[in-house]
Amino acid sequence: MNPESHDPLARWRHLWPHRDNQTVFRETLGRLFDDYCRWHEHWQGPLSERPPADNRPLLRAIELLDDLSRRLQADSTPWPAPQYLAHMNADPLLPAGLAYFAAMLYNPNNVTPEAAPVTTTLEHELSDDFCRLFGFDPQQGWAHLTSGGHAANYEAIWIARNLQRVPFALAEGNNPQDDARLCNLPPREIVARLSHALENAPPERLRARIDALHDHPALRGGRILVASGRHYAWDKCADLLGLVLEPVEMDASMRIDIAALRERLFAHFKAAYPVVAVIATAGSSGEGSVDEIHRIVALRQECEERFGVSFFLHVDAAFGGYYRTLLQPLIDEDACTAPHVSGVLKPEVVEALQALCHADTITVDPHKCAGVPYPAGCLAIRDRRFSWAISSQTRYFRPSFSRHMEHGPHTLEGARPGAAAAAVWMAHRLSGLHRSGLGALLAGNALTATHLHHALNAQPAFLLDGVAHRFRSMFAPDLCIVNFCIHPAEQVVLNARRIELLSERMIGNAQLPGSGDEKLPWFSRNRVSLRDIMPDAVRRETDETDDTTVVRCCVMKPVSHDAFAAFLRNSLDRLFARIGGRET
Amino acid sequence: MNPESHDPLARWRHLWPHRDNQTVFRETLGRLFDDYCRWHEHWQGPLSERPPADNRPLLRAIELLDDLSRRLQADSTPWPAPQYLAHMNADPLLPAGLAYFAAMLYNPNNVTPEAAPVTTTLEHELSDDFCRLFGFDPQQGWAHLTSGGHAANYEAIWIARNLQRVPFALAEGNNPQDDARLCNLPPREIVARLSHALENAPPERLRARIDALHDHPALRGGRILVASGRHYAWDKCADLLGLVLEPVEMDASMRIDIAALRERLFAHFKAAYPVVAVIATAGSSGEGSVDEIHRIVALRQECEERFGVSFFLHVDAAFGGYYRTLLQPLIDEDACTAPHVSGVLKPEVVEALQALCHADTITVDPHKCAGVPYPAGCLAIRDRRFSWAISSQTRYFRPSFSRHMEHGPHTLEGARPGAAAAAVWMAHRLSGLHRSGLGALLAGNALTATHLHHALNAQPAFLLDGVAHRFRSMFAPDLCIVNFCIHPAEQVVLNARRIELLSERMIGNAQLPGSGDEKLPWFSRNRVSLRDIMPDAVRRETDETDDTTVVRCCVMKPVSHDAFAAFLRNSLDRLFARIGGRET
């Protein structure tokens, strides 16, 4: 037996450039280009005469390209570096980039199959991939690519907001008592009513009735509820769609506080106040924390049983969605050498990822965790009939709700690069959306992050500016992001301002350009509230804010976790030395 | 003197693949790839061990790439073909695609310079390019890339809608008489008040006041006015932002009817009804028609003088914006051999393009007319302080309004491919945004389209199904799109249904896959109202709609117009024969 088969990451190594595979990738790249040139020559026809003898424009093009390449080499952010841990960006798979390039040459636009016959077909295949990944029925749901997480989130909430108008458009008369009942109907009941209505009424007329309700008093001030540590995209989203963003308290794991959410929802339902959506996050951008989606699903069930009302559940899994590959077994499970999910993720995170199948819509970004270059976001929709609520081609969108919908009229965006579909398709096919494929890679990241968390807290005290200090990892990571700080070892009352200064000292030294030490780690910063994150440890001082800056560290490296954890410890040692720390 | 210098298109020929330049582009491509591999090897560090001996994943990657390439070659839409005239898509410049690829390898994300140091700088250079192209002051305005025209349009109207709240947030008290005056203030006055207020109040507090006004009664049901032949993106936009779309009548040139617009605006202003924006189109997608922006600007002036109120003017120049290069002279104007704009475009189209400098925001898509692959849209903003209205980082956005704003918090979108900035930058640098550069290319397209228009109308009658028929071009093109139909020669009363059937017959035969005749033209369809387009010719028949389908033909070829016009006539002859037409 080949010893490499024990290492689930071994199969990945060929998909990044190495001295050994560069020649074969370079040859392939040349072949893709030659294919394109043949196609171009076939179609360009007799009108494209021989280029003129004056080849200065050609020389200028080559000069600009070489110049661009030099600048990129000199100053690009070094994603491939093991010491780069600052932002949520992995080094993309080289074949995904080559697939993007191959398709881009033919310039497909997936707005319509007429402008992209090949890559639209690939995007339809991806729709099935995403449905299966999240446990949606591919016969009933659908998924499509977007320019990124922002667009996917906007579209989801746009759908949720418009769905709320449907029951009012279908209701006869205007009874205020009805309004209270209608404004928070379960989404599945809304589409059931909609489907029924579409069998009996012309869609255009129904659509006009819905549009006319855009300012219905019973729906005014509709809310979206999301954890207070939200990404700023959610503030943009609420403003854009004319909704009220209601921040919900967080627990010490930086997840939405379910008790607080429950209390808020009950109050809204009792007051017949429109709740447009509850937004759960699977992988918050600052902390990588995963809201307890299973408990939100249970809460939804409770609301339906107690009040007969419900809410639209959107999960922003832009970052964490692909971690559900850890739950996807191989057919030949006995031969699988990848770690089992129970040894990688916390039980409640596993439950949360399992419960994704009960969400109404899910955002996931292939350009974050699937090794695909920008731009590649995705919105997955549990029931494709939801999209009727935003469709601008209702007349072609009969109750049958075709499985392969044209993208332009049924999504937020218009023109879109077919090349992105080719890149995601390539990454999915090569990595495999299961625990021995992409799951093994992500498991490695999560294990490394957990290791780093423990290592930081176990680090002995050290001297900084003559005073004993300690490291503190703020919480055990749900996925692969660690937040940590330095604070005086003896201080029981944590001082937000002092923590902030020490964090900035670490981050600033870490990323010092031209420091001459390329081995220093690259970190980013995160703003947290000490009260959220360490409710017991903090005693407020007068006039002092709880908000502080901590060091944020995203572990997204295609290496086995024990080797990388050792490297990380060494890297941190260099940093301590740099900021003037030494052993006690 | 070199005879080629007389042909303004000669300098372009090297920028598409030709047998003669393929070798040098292929070598450059290899060099770009090698540069990346060197960078990767430098950064990847000791953790990336030698790849395992089992190279099946590598072989699988190569196999998938070659397979993808074969599918793309076999079935892609043939943009380079002279007979391809269906959709608004030109064959991109090869160096722009190579620049995209070169940058994509380093996976920059222009959401923040930290994730894209090189390409964010390029995007800032582009901001100046776009400001100069449209006649905005680069010191005062700014421009940024978007995923496409949809996102740019959404952002523009989002800005316009939020700006309307500012005067209410700044006003003391709640006087309904004030409301009437405040709801349609001139945008430049709004930002003047805003700037003043920001000098004296914390931005966060002001922002909170503005957000609290999202449902202010005086601003409810705000309208956007746009020509009735609008792109469906505008229906999406109004719905998304909770606004009312008010379609304005069109004239026989398929442009917004200025008299009708005037009447509607006056009525709204008299009723103190909020007008969020007037949307002018420079290059409608069906017809390429250009609204008379100069007359809308004059109308705005009139409103300000008569009523003291105004409106936000957004121009959707996704398609037509780059035609303003025809108005940009070279420094050495005497040496310019390109046709002068007065010999290319109608006087009112020239005036409209000139007046773009008076718009508040302009959408333009480099992926339409600048020879750049998808995705590349752009929003240009006359006064960068407008963006404050949608900024989610008000605290970093002081009255100074920095010239190089971070993209994420001050625009609609989040993550965005830095590679797109590299591609647009390359296209701008190579083609030149002036009349001897990109302008000469676009002039060629416009001249060919005008030629085709006249040729169709001059075509002698021919027999089809035994009856004499004629071609009719629906209007003289403003830019490079021709709409035409076939109708019975003797019929005075045009029959919408008959025209539709004949159009479908032409389009269907033209694009017949596997027809064996690759020289047949590719067309698309456009829906028009005969009443709009030929108000005199049409007599309604009972119960009959005026809506019909005509043949749409986009001329976007990098060839000199006389050679191409001759080719087009020949191509049409083949089509007549195919659908069974013959000479009388």
pLDDT in tens, B195-230: 898 888 888 888 888 888 888 888 988 999 999 999
From chain B, pick out residues whose CB is under 8 angstroms from the CB of A98: 65
Contact assignment for B114 to A392 by CB distance below 8 Å: no
Q: How far is CA A64 from CA A61, A466, B129, B422, in A?
A: 5, 53, 17, 11
Write the pLDDT tens digit of every residue in A211-242: 888 888 889 889 999 999 999 999 999 999 99
Mean per-residue pLDDT for A245-267? 96
From chain A, pick out residues whose CB is under 8 angstroms from the CB of B8: none
- Which residue on chain A is closest to B117 by alpha carbon? A76
- Which residue on chain A is closest to B417 by alpha carbon? A374
Beta-sheet pairing, A223-227 with A462-464: unpaired
From chain B, pick out residues whose CB is under 8 angstroms from the CB of A12: 57
pTM assigned to the model: 0.96
From chain B, pick out residues whose CB is under 8 angstroms from the CB of A26: 30, 33-34
What is the Cα–Cα distance from B129 to B94, expressed in whole angstroms? Answer: 21
Contact assignment for B97 to A105 by CB distance below 8 Å: yes
Identify from B65, B120, B567 which residue to disrupt to test chain A contact, counting A C-beta atoms within 10 A and taking the largest count: B65
Range of weakest confidence among A306-315, A381-390, A482-491? A482-491
Q: What is the pLDDT of residue B46?
A: 66
Beta bridge partners of B196: none
Q: Is the pLDDT of residue B262 over 70?
A: yes
Which carries the bigger pLDDT value, residue B318 or residue A87?
A: B318
Which carries the bigger pLDDT value, residue A130 or residue A10?
A: A130
Q: How far is CA B126 from CA B129, B208, B535, in A?
A: 5, 33, 43
Contact assignment for A29 to B34 by CB distance below 8 Å: no
Which H or E run contains B400? none
User: Strand order of the sheet with strand B481-488?
Assistant: B524-529, B547-554, B481-488, B467-473, B462-464, B582-583
Give the CA radius of gyration of chain B. 26
Beta-sheet pairing, B275-281 with B313-316: parallel
Q: Is the pLDDT of residue B401 over 60?
A: no
Percent with pLDDT over 90 in chain B: 61
Mean per-residue pLDDT for A51-60? 83
Count the neighbouring beta carbons within 10 Å of the beta carbon of residue A165. Answer: 22
The upper half-sphere exposure of residue A180, i.e. CA atoms within 13 Å in the direction of its Cβ, equals 8
Option in A29, A36, A47 nearest B564 (CB):
A47
Identify from A72, A112, A378 which residue to disrupt to test chain B contact, counting B C-beta atoms within 10 A and taking the largest count: A72
Distance from the Cα of B24 to chain A's closest Cα (Å) equals 8
Task: Return the beta strands (E) in A445-523 as ranges.
Answer: 462-464, 467-473, 481-488
Confidence band, pLDDT 50/70/90 cuts, at residue B542: very low
Distance from the Cα of B375 to chain A's closest Cα (Å) equals 6
Which carries the bigger pLDDT value, residue B518 or residue A376?
A: A376
Q: Is the pLDDT of residue B521 over 90?
A: no
Mean per-residue pLDDT for A66-91? 93
Q: Is the pLDDT of residue B324 over 60?
A: yes
Q: Is the pLDDT of residue A583 over 60?
A: yes
Helix intervals (H) in A4-79: 22-44, 56-75
Which of B113, B125, B366, B145 has its CA nearest to residue A147? Answer: B145
Q: Is the pLDDT of residue B136 over 60?
A: yes
Mean per-residue pLDDT for A146-169? 96
Task: Return the beta strands (E) in A190-332 as ranges.
Answer: 223-227, 244-248, 275-281, 313-316
Sequence letter at residue A217:
P
Q: Is the pLDDT of residue A448 over 50?
A: yes
Helices A22-44, B22-44: axis angle to 10 degrees equals 150
Contact assignment for B45 to A83 by CB distance below 8 Å: yes
Beta bridge partners of B362: B315, B380
Whether A520 contacts A578, CB under 8 Å: yes
Distance from the Cα of B486 to chain A's closest Cα (Å) equals 24
**For the stretch B9-45, what's the b/e string if a residue is b when 16 or more beta carbons lie within 10 angstroms of its beta carbon?**
bbbbbbbbbbeebbeebbebbeebbebbbebbeebbb
Q: What is the pLDDT of residue B176?
A: 63
Q: How far is CA A505 from CA A287, A464, A468, in A?
A: 20, 12, 16
Mean per-residue pLDDT for B229-240? 94
From chain A, pick out residues whose CB is under 8 angstroms from the CB of B26: 30, 33-34
Range of weakest confidence among A171-175, A253-257, B424-428? A171-175
What is the Cα–Cα distance from A26 to A19, expressed in whole angstroms? Answer: 11
Q: Is the pLDDT of residue A413 over 50?
A: yes
Confidence band, pLDDT 50/70/90 cuts, at residue B422: very high
Question: Would you say how long chain B is, in residues?
Answer: 584
Identify from A41, A60, A68, A430 which residue to disrupt to test chain B contact, counting B C-beta atoms within 10 A and taking the largest count: A68
Write the pLDDT tens digit of every residue in A551-576: 999 999 877 777 787 788 788 888 87
Report which DSSP code applies to A250.
Answer: B
A vs B, Cβ pairs < 8 A, gives 429
Whether A118 contacts B383, CB under 8 Å: no
Q: Which residue has the tokens 């349609």?
A: B184
Q: Is the pLDDT of residue A399 over 60?
A: no
Cβ contacts of A493 within 8 Å, gap of 6 or more:
A538, A539, A541
Contact assignment for B55 to A392 by CB distance below 8 Å: no
What is the Cα–Cα distance from A77 to A450, expressed in whole angstroms? Answer: 25
Mean per-residue pLDDT for B449-465? 90
Which of B283, B327, B281, B287 has its CA nearest to residue B440? Answer: B327
Percent with pLDDT over 70 in chain A: 89
- Which residue on chain A is closest to B71 by alpha carbon? A118
Whether B195 contacts B400, CB under 8 Å: no
Mean per-residue pLDDT for B95-103? 98
Contact assignment for B107 to A91 by CB distance below 8 Å: yes
Range of weakest confidence among B94-103, B326-335, B530-539? B530-539
Which carries the bigger pLDDT value, residue A272 or residue A204?
A: A272
Confidence band, pLDDT 50/70/90 cuts, at residue B47: low
Tokens, residue A456: 């930081």
Tokens, residue B242: 């909770």
Whether A541 contacts A499, CB under 8 Å: no
Which carries the bigger pLDDT value, residue A418 or residue B396?
A: A418
Whether B130 contacts B317, CB under 8 Å: no
For B112, the 3-state DSSP assignment is coil
Q: Which residue has the tokens 């203030």?
A: B185
Contact assignment for A415 to B78 by CB distance below 8 Å: no
Measure CA B358 to chain center: 18
Confidence band, pLDDT 50/70/90 cuts, at residue B14: confident
Q: What is the pLDDT of residue A4?
A: 40
Whether B433 contacts B129, CB under 8 Å: yes
Mean per-residue pLDDT for A396-406? 58
Beta-sheet pairing, A313-316 with A361-364: parallel
Beta bridge partners of A549: A527
Q: Is the pLDDT of residue A446 over 90?
A: yes
Mean per-residue pLDDT for A287-311? 96
Q: Which residue has the tokens 């169709």?
A: B456
Which carries the bigger pLDDT value, residue B522 or residue A148?
A: A148
Mean per-residue pLDDT for A543-549? 76
Q: What is the pLDDT of residue B394?
A: 52
Mean pLDDT of chain B: 88
Confidence band, pLDDT 50/70/90 cuts, at residue B540: low
Contact assignment for B158 to A38 by CB distance below 8 Å: no
From chain A, pick out residues whose CB is under 8 angstroms from the CB of B440: none
What is the Cα–Cα distance from A360 to A403, expressed in whole angstroms? Answer: 17
Confidence band, pLDDT 50/70/90 cuts, at residue A107: very high
Distance from the Cα of B47 to chain A's closest Cα (Å) equals 7
Q: What is the pLDDT of residue A178?
A: 74
Whether A153 contacts A233, CB under 8 Å: yes
Write the pLDDT tens digit of every residue in A501-535: 999 988 887 765 555 567 788 899 999 888 777 66
